Amino acid sequence: MEFKDRVVVITGAGGGIGTAIAKKFTDFGAKVALIDIKEEVAQKTVERLGLTAENSFCLGADISEEAPVKEVVKKVKEHFGRIDVLINTAGIPGPSARTEDYTFEDVKKVYGVNVFGTYLMMQNVLPIMQEQKKGAIVNFGSVSGMFGYPYEIGYGSSKAAVIFLTKNAANENGGNGVRINSVSPGWVDTNMMKTVWESYADVGIENSMDNVTIGPTGRPARPEEIANVVAFLASDEASYVNGSNFLVDGGMTLG
């Protein structure tokens, strides 16, 4: 795969998956715009990966709000001159709670980042890609957005929304050089996974593994395994892939 001098925007760039995605693209020669809630969080990814001012640009933004998204997209375009790839990695899990106990405030917070953040980033990047007549967007769904798991009404439904945001936008843009797809991981070995497992205590589950299905692979994914699929979907090798949701779960959902 070749991404030499292409500009890749990554939200949630300070997290485990975001960091792995940044490494994958820069290893292939890309320049990356790293976005997280605070610029210093994105900067830590630069330091961990040994990136330079030439191939990285860090920004802080609350992507659940319209004005900050417009501003960071404008800054990326001004800094690099173009945007070739958008990876909407940013997401939050929300609490573990039964539907009747899941507060409206928590639902709004989860939707704000997972759904509205993804939508706002696409909305503001798409015109740039359309003008270039080429671009690729990869959004993050989840197995939770495909199957009805307990105690995650906010997260699961938000990821279902992302999967279908992807399909709507892909249908609109498939003929103009812009492809849009999503990936839906199962468990990934990150801090978010640990946070979710610990939160099962809030619903009375003493042993978190009682509410966890790993699948036949017998382990969570490594972040770089998710990054591999993301890079493929953004690459020219996936030129005929549009509107797809790639399940990357090690067989977890096989039953």
Residue type, 109: K
As a three-state string, the secondary structure of the chain is: CCCCCCEEEEECCCCHHHHHHHHHHHHCCCEEEEEECCHHHHHHHHHHHCCCCCCEEEEECCCCCHHHHHHHHHHHHHHHCCCCEEEECCCCCCCCECHHHCCHHHHHHHHHHHHHHHHHHHHHHHHHHHHHCCEEEEEECCHHHCCCCCCEHHHHHHHHHHHHHHHHHHHHHCCCCEEEEEEEECCECCHHHHHHHHHHHHHCCCCHHHHCCCCCCCCCECHHHHHHHHHHHHCHHHCCCCCCEEEECCCHHHC
Are 16 and 190 in contact by the 8 Å Cβ rule? The answer is: yes
Residue with tokens 């300070």: 14
Q: Is 111 a catalytic residue?
A: no
| Candidate list 102, 119, 151, 155, residue with the active-site label | 155
Beta bridge partners of 56: 32
CA distance 120 to 12: 14
> Which residues are marked as active site?
155
